[in-house]
Amino acid sequence: MLEAGKTLFNSFNAFANLRDADRVAAAQQHRATSRQRFDGWSLDDRDPAFIKSWMPVAEWLYHNYFRVTTSGWHHVPEQGKILFVGSHNGGFASPDTSMFMYDWFRREGYDRLSYGLMHPAAWTFPDIAQLAVQAGALVAHPQMAIAALRREAAVLVYPGGAEDMFRPHSDRHKINLAGRKGFIKLALRENAPIVPLISIGAHDTMIVLGDIYPQVKQLHAWGLPWIFGPDIGVFPAFLGLPWGLAIGPLPNIPPPVQIYTRVCAPIVFPRYGREAAVDRAYVDACYEEVRTQMQLELDSLVAATLLNQGMAQ
């Protein structure tokens, strides 16, 4: 027992003294020996052949069902790492995400590395998770994002998470990053340009009336069993298919609402590196710059879309 304890201590001590890059690699190697495949802890489960097989369905949805109009793809750097930062829309279905993916693959091909950080709740559905992993989904953990960027990959993050995904319909044209600044620290540490993604239309595929999470949590504290699946921090009341009126973070079927997407110009900050990433005031300023720029772009997209719709009538 004593020898086992010494061995464990020495292993931990060696791990603690590794450089950041080595620590990430060591953690991934350890997981590779014990994990199950398609659990989101590997960069190697992404399958270009699977992505290619999915494209005909996505193409039909893109052109015939959601009738997507897109712009701004000239802003995507031709090579190197990218941190795409998006605004989540439309609940768990999030149709604008899959439409962004389709646009990326048809423009950049299947072999340019790209990954997306997936919400923890999605991993509670193994069948869905297995499909998502083959398309590039990773566990939403800093180690995975760092590892992907160090392979010069494009990484997609939605900082607003569930709060953004289920924000009220009245806030559908408001950027909600939920105050989460980990993506800023990630970009600063890894010297990655941030490319914002915005869209409109997807949040009209379900009408979120409001969030009753505080009330439901209180009922749970009083003894009501939690029977609504994983606790994701929100509990929306919404109108959506196939439920009609529904409560809770339930999956929905998006109706054929037209979606408009835009890739925004890269945001590059004056300073990068570890010192910049731990400078709280600087991180706050960078976060506000991204949020403000995304809101301005979203306002512009809304105005342009309304103008075009008015001219078409």
Asked which of 55-59, 157-161, 181-185, 226-230 is least confident by mean pLDDT, the reply is: 226-230
Q: Is the pLDDT of residue 22 over 70?
A: no
Q: Can you give the C-alpha Rg of the chain in angstroms?
A: 21
Q: Is the pLDDT of residue 21 over 70?
A: no
Cα–Cα distance for residue pair 268/30, rounded to 1 Å: 34
Model confidence at 201, pLDDT cuts 50, 70, 90, reads very high
Q: Give the single-character DSSP code of 205.
A: S
Q: What pLDDT does residue 8 have?
A: 34
Q: Which residues in the chain are classed under CATH 3.40.1130?
A: 45-312
Phi first, then psi: give them for residue 269, nearest 5 degrees.
-90, 160
Q: Is the pLDDT of residue 23 over 60?
A: no
Q: Which amino acid is at 294?
A: M
Cα–Cα distance for residue pair 139/40, rounded to 1 Å: 5
Q: Based on the number of CB atoms within 10 Å of its own CB, is 218 exposed (0-12), middle (13-18) or buried (19 or more)?
A: exposed
Q: Based on the number of CB atoms within 10 Å of its own CB, is 226 exposed (0-12), middle (13-18) or buried (19 or more)?
A: exposed
Cα–Cα distance for residue pair 36/17, rounded to 1 Å: 28
Q: Does domain 45-312 have CATH number 1.20.1260?
A: no
H or E element in which residue 145 lies: helix 142-149
Give the global pTM. 0.87
Q: What pLDDT does residue 35 have?
A: 55
Model confidence at 6, pLDDT cuts 50, 70, 90, reads very low
- Sign of the CA dihedral with 149 first, then 153, 97, and 230 last: negative
Asked which of 9-13, 74-78, 155-159, 204-208 is least confident by mean pLDDT, the reply is: 9-13
